[in-house]
Amino acid sequence: MRNAHEIDFQIVGEEMQYVSIELDPNEGVIAEAGSFMMMDNGIKMETIFGDGSEKDKGFMGKVFGAGKRLLTGESLFMTAFYNVTNLKREVSFAAPYPGKVMPLDLSMMGNKFICQKDAFLCAAKGVSIGIEFSKKLGRGLFGGEGFIMQKLEGDGMAFVHSGGNTAVKRLAPGEKLKVDTGCIVGFDHTVDYDIEFVGGIKNTLFGGEGLFFATLTGPGTVYIQSLPFSRLAKRVWAAAPRGGGKDKGEGSILGGIGDLLDGDNRF
């Protein structure tokens, strides 16, 4: 018998996806703040301390569960949605930026999945969201943007989001894969991971990439995103106007004529 609620779902869309979850009477789902899209009448929304799983029973359990989320940079609170009617009701959650919503049946994945701290979207009530503590100090000190990993534990459905397109790599025992830390969406709990320094003074100063990459060793499946949000944000920030000036590269060498051709008619 499952501890987590059994939920039915449908993923809608191509590039800007959302997941629509059908809740039977008394079923519930938990989600990160800000991912809610819409819900039928008869669904009760409640802010909870921690993730509301079995591990969060009791006051100290709730404090510890919420504290773990605080370490990942997430909110102390999550939002739970319950169907309080006698009929089926739907609630939907939207991806935060272009990419794919990935459904994960944790009962088919050894009841545990490791993912980026900002990849989690929502999950069936009863799934635990915590930190995957590293056994190696180097990961915590020098891991870059991807060194803090979350773990999803339980036997229910969970949904994570990946930016851009998703590559799925199935690693044989002992097979290694090197990945930019920000491009990792998640991987099976059987995969061993470590952080390595790129090395070389030219690579460090002029390579244009991060100083670290992740080494993932099989067996297990690894999910990789082509567009990490951090990379998207940096490009947007680099192209944003500064102090009332023009956008970076706007109009190119044509100057004002190029702006007119672009459709930018501001003076």
Q: pLDDT value at position 103?
A: 95
> Which residues are CB-contacts of 267 (< 8 A; sequence separation ≥ 6)?
none
Q: pLDDT value at position 16?
A: 86
Q: pLDDT value at position 220?
A: 96
Q: pLDDT value at position 74?
A: 55
Residue burial 27-39, b: 16+ Cβ < 10 Å; e: rest: bbbbbbeebbeeb
CB contact at 8 A, 160 and 115 = yes
Residue in 66, 83, 86, 84 with CA at minimum distance from that of residue 75: 66
| Residue-level pLDDT, tens digit, the chain, 267 residues | 567 788 899 999 888 899 999 999 999 999 987 889 999 999 999 988 766 665 555 555 555 555 555 555 555 678 999 999 999 999 999 988 889 999 999 999 999 999 987 889 999 999 988 887 655 544 444 444 445 788 999 999 999 999 989 999 999 999 999 998 889 999 999 999 888 776 655 544 444 445 678 899 999 999 999 988 777 667 777 777 766 555 554 444 445 444 544 444 544
> Which residues are CB-contacts of 195 (< 8 A; sequence separation ≥ 6)?
136, 138, 139, 142, 143, 144, 147, 181, 212, 213, 214, 215
Q: pLDDT value at position 118?
A: 81
Q: What is the Cα–Cα distance from 50 to 57, expressed in whole angstroms?
A: 10
Q: pLDDT value at position 62?
A: 52
CA dihedral 114, 116, 118, 124 (to 10 degrees): -20
Residue in 106, 51, 53 with CA at minimum distance from that of residue 78: 51
